[in-house]
Amino acid sequence: MREALKAGEVVRKSILKVALGEIQTAEARAQSDMSDEEAQKVLKKLVKSIDESLEVIRDDRRDTLLQERDILQSLLPRGLSIDELQEALLPVAPAIVSARGEGPATGVAMKHLRAQGLSAEGKDVAAAVERIRAAGA
């Protein structure tokens, strides 16, 4: 944030202040320090909020929102692509295929990914599970 202040990056400074404020508020409510995962959830929530705003805003504020979203996303770990997810899920593919439905199959996938310390968007995991189930059926 100090770099943004020195460089005169108004948008970057602004969104970093918002993110820091959200994290500090969540810490105050929990009365404890946040883990990195919890802080990432706060940042993802902010990105989602910006995405929702982008769906309805069609004026000059849109450029600022896009910049803010890019800044926040740069702070988050890169999630795996659908192809990378499919590859990561190969060890549990038989369990995914034999699951009774999409929900339980996605649960198997999410449990495996968490155990491996991997990060991905839920919709991407669901898409990878769908591909695995289609290929295995």
**pLDDT tens digits along 104-114:** 999 999 999 98
pLDDT of 1 strictly over 70: no
Half-sphere exposure of residue 37: CA atoms within 13 angstroms, side-chain side: 5
Per the CB < 8 A criterion, the answer to whether 105 and 133 are in contact is yes
Quote the pTM value: 0.65
Provide the 10 A C-beta neighbour count for residue 99: 18
Residue 84: in which H helix or E strand, if any? helix 82-88
The CATH number that domain 2-75 falls under is 1.10.1510
The tens digit of pLDDT for each residue in 76-120 reads 888 888 999 999 999 999 999 999 999 999 999 999 998 988 888
